[in-house]
């Protein structure tokens, strides 16, 4: 038996590398990510803006692309090695969900494009550009890639993505089988199957989750998440959001699932953005036993004062509002509240 058979393909995907968000209001989306979340614009090309958080190693983690409707442009995974990339491309091709190679983009080299079974657009690549801070943005900390900004309440790095799906199990299985993700927590549906799954390729509880798209067609974005590392900064950025009329959906709160501390807001383009205050808990156990939540559990928790473990309750919109994955032409299922 080879080493590979021990672990299978579970380490071929190293990390969530970047996200492309579609926005009908590029300037205001830029204001949100740059002035409130303290991100840096590092490039502009073909109308898209590329941003980075100050604690990220690569050039960029966010591409903002003007579009008629908000939604997910694509989510990009970095493979662990050139060989790992090859293996994953073969596995994806075998599913029939592969779309083929692109030459690359600002910040990375050749990438293989594919979708989940519900059409969420993704890519995987190996070659990446590490960030080199210009003189005035160099940090005094050797292990910090960029000086901490003095603008807004600056986020540190991209954390995860959460997608709406009609068939949660099918999407989760795809990520596990074609890409090597592991199941960490799930909500079992009363009628069988899953209402939500949380999957990771690292000790984090998830780099990706799928939740049941109750009111929509699936294939959509629920939210992307940036990380602070310090729960208190959710209050600081929340105060900025309130002063600047950014719609807060929930939080600061403490999740039951993942145990992490979130704040959910809508960026001006209409996409939901989560901010994570801490890491919740980390999973180091190689034979992890996925955590099972039932719908009864969720309902009882709601009756007992809300689904989050602490800090209020999910409003109805949380379960139905998402933004369309534009490439596959899904219509928006709900309207983002405005203040």
| 170 and 144 Cβ atoms separated by less than 8 Å | no
Nearer to a second copy, 65 or 293 (CB): 293
> Torsion over CA of 301, 304, 310 and 316, rounded to 10 degrees?
70
Q: What angle do CA 280, 308, 30 make, to 5 degrees?
A: 70
248 versus 328: smaller Cβ distance to a second copy: 248
Q: Shortest Cβ distance from residue 145 to a second copy (Å)?
A: 10
Query: Is the Cβ of residue 96 or residue 142 nearer to a second copy in the bound state?
Result: 142
Under 8 Å between Cβ of 99 and 28 = no
Closer CB to a second copy, residue 193 or residue 305?
Answer: 305
The DSSP 8-state label assigned to residue 58 in this structure reads B
CA distance 248 to 331: 23
Cα(115)–Cα(113) distance, integer angstroms? 7
Strand partners, 164: 211, 220
Beta-carbon contacts of residue 142 (< 8 Å; ≥ 6 apart): none
**With 0-12 CB in 10 A as exposed, 13-18 as middle and 19+ as buried, what is 176?**
middle
Side-chain half-sphere CA neighbours of 195 within 13 A: 16
Least separation, in Å, of the C-beta of 219 and a second copy?
Answer: 27
Q: What is the closest distance, in whole angstroms, from the C-beta atom of residue 226 to a second copy in the complex?
A: 14
Give least dist CB 134 to a second copy, A.
Answer: 15
Give the closest residue to 46 by CA, choosing from 23, 64, 60.
Answer: 64
Q: Which is nearer to a second copy, 105 or 185 (CB)?
A: 185
What is the four-CA torsion angle of 99, 104, 109, 114, rounded to 10 degrees?
-20
Q: Based on CB atoms, which residue is closest to a second copy, 47 or 337?
A: 337
Query: What's the min distance (Å) between Cβ of 68 and a second copy?
Result: 27
Minimum distance, C-beta of residue 252 to a second copy, in the bound complex (Å)? 6
Q: How far is the CB of 246 from a second copy (least distance, A)?
A: 10
Question: Toward a second copy, which CB reaches closer, 214 or 339?
Answer: 339
Residue 225 · residue 160 · CB < 8 Å: yes
């Amino acid at each position: 038996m080879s080493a590979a058979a021990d672990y299978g393909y579970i380490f071929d995907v190293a990390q969530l590398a970047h996200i492309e968000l579609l926005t009908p209001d590029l300037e205001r989306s830029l204001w949100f990510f740059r002035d409130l979340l303290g991100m840096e614009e590092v490039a502009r090309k073909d109308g898209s803006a590329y941003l980075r958080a100050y604690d990220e190693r690569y050039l960029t983690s966010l591409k903002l692309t003007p579009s008629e409707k908000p939604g997910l442009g694509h989510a990009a995974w970095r493979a662990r090695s050139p060989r790992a990339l090859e293996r994953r491309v073969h596995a994806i091709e075998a599913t029939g969900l592969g779309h083929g190679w692109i030459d690359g983009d600002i910040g990375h080299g050749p990438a293989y494009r594919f979708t989940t079974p519900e059409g969420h657009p993704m890519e995987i690549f190996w070659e990446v550009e590490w960030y080199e801070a210009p003189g005035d943005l160099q940090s005094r900390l050797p292990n910090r890639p960029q000086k901490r900004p003095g603008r807004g309440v600056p986020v540190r790095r991209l954390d995860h993505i959460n997608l709406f799906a009609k068939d949660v199990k099918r999407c989760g299985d795809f990520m596990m089988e074609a890409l090597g993700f592991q199941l960490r927590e799930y909500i079992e549906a009363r009628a069988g199957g899953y209402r939500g799954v949380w999957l990771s390729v690292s000790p984090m509880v998830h780099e990706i989750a799928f939740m049941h798209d109750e009111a929509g067609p699936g294939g959509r974005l629920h939210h992307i998440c940036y990380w602070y590392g310090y729960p208190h900064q959710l209050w600081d950025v929340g105060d900025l959001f309130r002063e600047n009329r950014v719609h807060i959906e929930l939080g600061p709160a403490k999740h039951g699932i993942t145990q992490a501390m979130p704040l959910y807001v809508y960026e001006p383009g209409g996409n939901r953005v989560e901010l994570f205050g801490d890491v919740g808990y980390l999973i180091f156990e190689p034979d992890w036993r996925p955590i099972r939540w039932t719908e009864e559990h969720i309902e009882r928790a709601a009756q007992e004062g809300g689904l989050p473990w602490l800090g209020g309750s999910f409003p109805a919109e949380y379960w139905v509002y998402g933004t369309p994955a534009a490439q596959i032409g899904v219509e928006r299922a709900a309207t983002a509240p405005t203040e």
